[in-house]
């Protein structure tokens, strides 16, 4: 190709690329939500004299153009492929792939966040529990990196220090270590959560430490739709999906699940098949993020009750505890204020378990 | 508005270019001025009137200086022009710095003005200064058409990050320039390479520097990794911006001066400054150093001249002590070279390059520090002071994660790749394939760099303090 021809081709290619994408930017209908990233996208900013003169319009418009760019997901994939394979980066936007698992770097222990979590737990303990003879337990669910990054170059929390520091902050709680019952295979490859069908031993150990023995066997059911976990979309790479499996037996079938999110009791399924086919299928377990939920087991061998303060990891674990308790009350203080709980829950004499993932404790600002 | 943003590349630029291409020749400068004002207004809506005022003052003073040529009034108007430009720069950029230091020295608490620095003020102020000084010297005629002068001062390709274009370099191009396919193609190539340098290399290394800044796991080696990364980041960022500016200039029919010429291959600090930010260095040479007498004065005055120029060079980069120290650091280095070291450096083939890289890397730690005490701590850590360990887990992880980018950046900072491509082009069998590959590579770089923008990656603007 001659220089002249090369110049003509260069100008034409550039014109087509810039003009084509430019027209695409102008004409594209804005999307409200990104399924792959599981977040709302920036909408066209408010155009007023004050937003323009303050520069807010321009700042938000730039975010709008990023979020609403034509073929955005494909461009994100291009970037991800370039970062991982051309530049050989170990992570892209903190998302990394190791041993077939996708995970997120979260290696800095955030002491003020641990303080905040402990301060919330202290409030609950002092307000509702300290005057009773309830046993109070704490268990920390290690994130995937605990297993994935051991003895590797990838960065992860110093879990020993993390657990020790958290235990020191809430030394009135009895700590239950569940790490020995877990391995990396107990987590979804594309998601941060653990797999219910692999948690039977964990549930047994946990219950045993609280004086309850579990022996039930379960049937394993498999969802027919693929599960692209939260990290799958964030990685923007074309990776194979996970499969969600959930456990059932006669005891679970007879349990009554009730949500109190609206202030009135609303019956709910143990496994929500509508959510199983929704944007985040993991939300099928106990219907996702309910603030206050009870599981009543009419066939329980004892009248023991337990109150569990929890995050989303407990959604898949708690059904496996149902066998040992007549009633389990699940409280998610990300969605209900701690000072309201006295009106909603009877704490008298029941054992209490605080079970939280290291991720939530290390980013605990949402705990109210 | 930044060049490396979606609003610029896919909204502003196509619209501006279409308008510019269809506008008749006599209206092209009007389109250029108007679009430049929109460009500036987008980033600094409050300060667009300040820039217009600066342009108007430059225009009026230029005419008055010429009108009273060879009379005392001409000098008076030059002084007024210089005073108004420097006054504006002093007020908006340096007022709080002076107040802070005054308060520290006297124990008083004069309230700070808390003025937001108008982006690009250091660049367009220096362009106006060079224009009125050149008119006074008789090097150029005063521009009679305010639109032409406005288009020169506000021209968006070089408005916010340089290069500092002299009026005399573009005087004729303002009224007589040609748009050709060849020049446009070269401009496109330059723009895309600059865009990729900024987005793919500089921003990636910037991420690493940012991680270091918030790290609690510092070690000697992590400090060195940061220092090397920042030195490469600032080069790829700044030269990337200059490439984009020069490329856009070519697309619009202008020829701007080169601003960087592989500074990291220099064999002395003296050579480094002939290759780094050339437009600023030559500006200070022509408008400060030589008027002060340059080196054709007594040794004492020559020393004074060098210290003044490098004090001002440092201070130009930001209103903080670390920038002043950074400038004076180079003054000391240059003096040592001129008085003693240069002759030894010329005999060396490897050590001289290592010497330059070592002292330049240290200089950029000072440059990027949030304060002088931070700079001292970081440099101390680099040499094992402060009780930091030699290595750390974070250093190992990020070294591995950024190794390929660092290697690409290190090679890209030399002319090796450009030389290899031009040698391939000269060969008969491969030359045509290089020509076929070039537009494809450019398209890939454009798409990949756009993908990095779309993903909302880290995209800092390093010159907000300039």
Query: Mean pLDDT across the stretch A200-209?
Result: 95
pLDDT of residue B463: 61
- What is the residue-level pLDDT of chain B in tens, covering all 466 positions? 888 899 999 999 999 999 999 999 999 999 999 999 999 999 888 899 999 999 999 999 999 999 999 999 999 999 999 999 999 999 999 999 999 999 999 999 999 999 988 989 999 999 999 999 999 999 999 999 999 999 999 999 999 887 999 999 999 999 999 899 999 999 999 999 999 999 999 999 999 999 999 998 899 999 999 999 999 999 999 999 999 999 999 999 999 999 999 999 999 999 999 999 999 999 999 999 999 999 999 999 999 999 999 999 999 999 999 999 999 999 999 999 999 998 888 888 899 999 999 999 999 999 999 999 999 999 999 999 999 999 999 999 999 999 999 999 999 999 999 999 999 988 888 888 888 999 999 999 999 999 999 998 655 666 655 5
Contact A82, A237 (CB under 8 A): no
Burial group, residue B313, by CB count within 10 angstroms (0-12, 13-18, 19+): buried
The whole-model pTM stands at 0.91
User: B12 and A26 in contact (C-beta within 8 Å)?
Assistant: no
Q: Are B271 and B261 in contact (CB under 8 A)?
A: no
Report whether pLDDT(A169) > 80: yes
Mutate to test the interface with A, among B6, B11, B118, B391 (most CBs of A within 10 A): B6
Contact B452 A13 (CB under 8 A): no
Tell which residue, B124, B184, B177, has the closest CA to residue B149. B124
User: DSSP labels for A76-96?
Assistant: HHHHHHIIIIIS--S-BTTEE
A positions 197-256 inside 8 Å of B (CB)? 236
Say which of B192, B393, B451 has its CB closest to residue A75: B451
Give yes or no for residue A101 having a pLDDT over 70.
yes
Query: Would you tell me which residues 135-164 of chain A have a C-beta closer than 8 angstroms to some C-beta of chain B?
Result: 153-155
Residue B458 pLDDT: 55
Q: What is the mean pLDDT of residues A243-257?
A: 94
Task: Report yes or no: A235 and A102 within 8 Å, Cβ to Cβ.
Answer: yes
B142 closest CA partner among B58, B84, B50: B58
Summary mean pLDDT of chain A: 92
Interface touch B404/A87, C-beta < 8 Å: yes
Token digits of residue A33: 């939500």
What kind and span of H or E run contains A266?
Answer: strand A266-268
B210 touches chain A (CB under 8 A): no
Residue B182's closest chain A neighbor by CA? A7
Cα A272 from Cα A367, distance rounded (Å): 25
Chain A hits for B450, CB-CB cut-off 8 Å, are 21, 75
| A99 pLDDT more than 80 | yes
Backbone angles phi, psi at B3, to 5 degrees: -60, -40
pLDDT recorded at residue A3: 84
> Does A346 score more than 80 pLDDT?
yes
Cβ contacts of residue B356 below 8 Å, gap of 6+? Answer: B264, B266, B267, B268, B269, B271, B272
Which of A149, A141, A252 has its CA nearest to residue A193?
Answer: A141
Q: In chain A, which residues have their Cβ closer than 8 Å to the Cβ of B436?
A: 1, 6
Q: What is the pLDDT of residue B162?
A: 79
The tokens describing A350, both together, are: 């029941």
Compute the distance between CA of residue A167 and CA of residue A173 in angstroms, rounded to an integer.
8
Overall average pLDDT of the A282-302 stretch: 90
Strands A256-259 and A266-268: antiparallel
User: What residues does each domain of chain A span?
Assistant: 3-98, 109-366
* Residue B311 · residue B298 · CB < 8 Å: no
Q: For residues B269 and B332, is the Cβ–Cβ distance under 8 A?
A: no
Would you say A355 and A141 are in contact if contact means Cβ atoms under 8 Å apart? Answer: yes
Closest chain B residue to the Cα of A50, Cα to Cα: B45
- The verdict on A3 touching B (C-beta cutoff 8 Å) is yes
pLDDT for the residue B457 = 61
- Cis omega before residue A168 (within 30°)? no
Query: What angle (nearest 5°) sits at the alpha carbon of residue B463, between those of residues B461 and B466?
Result: 160
Residues of B in contact with A155 (CB under 8 A): 393-394, 397
- Give exposure, B3-28, as e/b (b: 16+ Cβ within 10 Å): bbbbbbbbbbbbebbebbeeeeeeeb
Would you report the helix, strand and coil content of chain A in percent, each value rounded to 5?
40, 20, 40
Q: Where are the domains of chain B?
A: 6-177, 183-267+348-454
Distances (CA, A) of A81 to A90, A96, B105: 12, 12, 55
Could you confirm whether B353 is annotated as catalytic? no
Torsion, CA A291, CA A294, CA A295, CA A301, rounded to 10: 140
Interchain contact, A53 vs B404, CB within 8 Å: no
How much is the ipTM here? 0.90
Q: How far apart are CA A27 and CA A122, in angstroms?
A: 54
> 8-27 in B: which are within 8 Å (CB) of A?
9-11, 13-14
Given the residues B172, B277, B317, B353, select the one marked as catalytic.
Answer: B317
């Amino acid at each position: 190709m001659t220089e002249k021809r090369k110049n003509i081709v260069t100008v034409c290619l550039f014109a087509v690329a810039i003009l084509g994408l430019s027209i695409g930017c102008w004409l594209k209908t804005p999307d409200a939500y990104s399924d792959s990233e599981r977040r709302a996208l920036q909408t066209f900013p408010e155009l007023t004299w004050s937003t323009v003169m303050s520069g807010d319009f321009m700042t938000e418009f730039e975010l709008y153009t990023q979020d609403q760019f034509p073929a955005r997901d494909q461009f994100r994939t291009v970037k991800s492929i370039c970062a991982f394979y051309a530049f050989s980066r170990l992570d892209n936007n903190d998302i990394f792939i190791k041993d077939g698992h996708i995970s997120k770097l979260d290696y800095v222990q955030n002491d003020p966040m641990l303080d905040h979590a402990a301060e919330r737990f202290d409030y609950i303990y002092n307000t509702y529990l300290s005057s009773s003879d309830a046993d109070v337990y704490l268990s920390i669910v290690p994130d995937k990196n605990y297993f994935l990054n051991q003895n590797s170059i990838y960065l992860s929390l110093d879990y020993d220090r993390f657990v020790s520091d958290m235990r020191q902050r809430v030394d009135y709680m009895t700590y239950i270590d569940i790490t020995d019952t877990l391995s990396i295979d107990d987590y979804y490859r594309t998601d941060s959560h653990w797999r219910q069908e692999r948690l039977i031993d964990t549930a047994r150990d946990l219950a045993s430490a609280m004086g309850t023995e579990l022996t039930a066997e379960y049937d394993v059911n498999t969802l027919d739709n693929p599960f692209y976990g939260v990290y799958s979309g964030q990685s923007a790479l074309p990776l194979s999906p996970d499969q969600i499996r959930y456990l059932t037996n006669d005891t679970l079938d007879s349990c009554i699940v009730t949500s109190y999110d609206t202030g009135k009791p609303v019956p709910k399924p143990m496994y929500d098949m509508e959510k199983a086919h929704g944007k985040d299928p993991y939300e099928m377990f106990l219907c996702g993020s309910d603030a206050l939920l009870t599981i009543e087991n009419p066939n329980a061998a004892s009248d023991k009750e337990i109150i569990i303060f929890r995050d989303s990891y407990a959604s898949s674990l708690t059904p496996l505890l149902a066998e040992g308790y007549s009633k389990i009350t699940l409280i998610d203080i990300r969605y209900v204020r701690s000072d309201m709980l006295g009106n909603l829950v009877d704490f008298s004499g029941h054992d209490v378990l605080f079970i939280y993932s290291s991720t939530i404790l290390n980013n605990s600002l949402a705990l109210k | 508005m930044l060049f490396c943003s979606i609003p610029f590349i896919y909204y502003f630029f196509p619209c501006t270019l279409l308008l510019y291409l269809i506008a008749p020749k006599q209206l092209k400068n009007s389109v250029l001025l108007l679009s430049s004002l929109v460009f500036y207004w987008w980033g600094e809506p409050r300060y667009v009137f300040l820039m217009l005022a600066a342009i108007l003052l430059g225009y009026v003073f230029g005419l008055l200086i010429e009108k009273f040529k060879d009379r005392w009034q001409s000098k008076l108007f030059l002084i007024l022009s210089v005073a108004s430009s420097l006054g504006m720069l002093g007020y908006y950029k340096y007022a709080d710095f002076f107040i802070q230091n005054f308060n520290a020295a006297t124990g008083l608490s004069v309230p700070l003005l808390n003025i937001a620095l108008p982006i690009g003020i250091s660049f367009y102020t220096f362009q106006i200064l060079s224009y009125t000084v050149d008119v006074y010297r008789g090097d150029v005629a005063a521009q009679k058409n305010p639109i032409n002068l406005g288009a020169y001062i506000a021209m968006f390709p070089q408005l916010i990050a340089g290069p500092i274009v002299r009026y005399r370099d573009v005087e004729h191009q303002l009224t007589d320039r040609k748009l050709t396919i060849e020049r446009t193609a070269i401009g496109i190539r330059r723009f895309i390479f600059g865009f990729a340098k900024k987005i793919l290399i500089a921003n990636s290394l910037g991420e690493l520097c940012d991680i270091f800044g918030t790290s609690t796991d510092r070690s000697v080696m992590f400090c060195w990794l940061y220092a090397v990364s920042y030195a490469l980041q600032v080069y790829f960022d700044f030269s990337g911006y200059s490439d984009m500016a020069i490329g856009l200039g070519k697309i619009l029919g202008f020829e701007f001066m080169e601003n960087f010429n592989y500074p990291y291959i220099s064999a002395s600090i003296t050579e480094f400054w002939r290759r780094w930010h050339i437009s600023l260095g030559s500006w200070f040479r022509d408008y400060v150093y030589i008027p002060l007498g340059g080196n054709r004065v007594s040794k004492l005055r020559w020393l004074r001249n060098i210290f003044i120029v490098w004090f001002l060079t440092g201070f130009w980069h930001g209103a903080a002590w670390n920038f002043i120290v950074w400038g004076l650091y180079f003054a000391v280095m240059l003096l040592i070279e001129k008085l003693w070291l240069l002759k030894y450096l010329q005999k060396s083939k490897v050590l001289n390059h290592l010497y330059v890289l070592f002292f330049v890397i240290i200089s950029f730690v000072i440059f990027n520090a949030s304060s002088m005490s931070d700079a001292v701590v970081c440099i101390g850590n680099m040499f094992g002071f402060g009780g930091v360990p030699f290595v750390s887990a974070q250093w190992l992880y990020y070294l591995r994660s950024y190794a390929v980018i660092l290697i690409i950046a290190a090679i890209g900072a030399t002319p090796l790749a450009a030389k290899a491509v031009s040698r391939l082009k000269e060969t008969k069998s491969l030359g045509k394939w290089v020509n076929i590959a070039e537009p494809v590579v450019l398209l890939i770089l454009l798409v990949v760099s756009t993908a990095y923008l779309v993903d909302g990656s880290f995209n800092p603007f390093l010159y907000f303090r300039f």
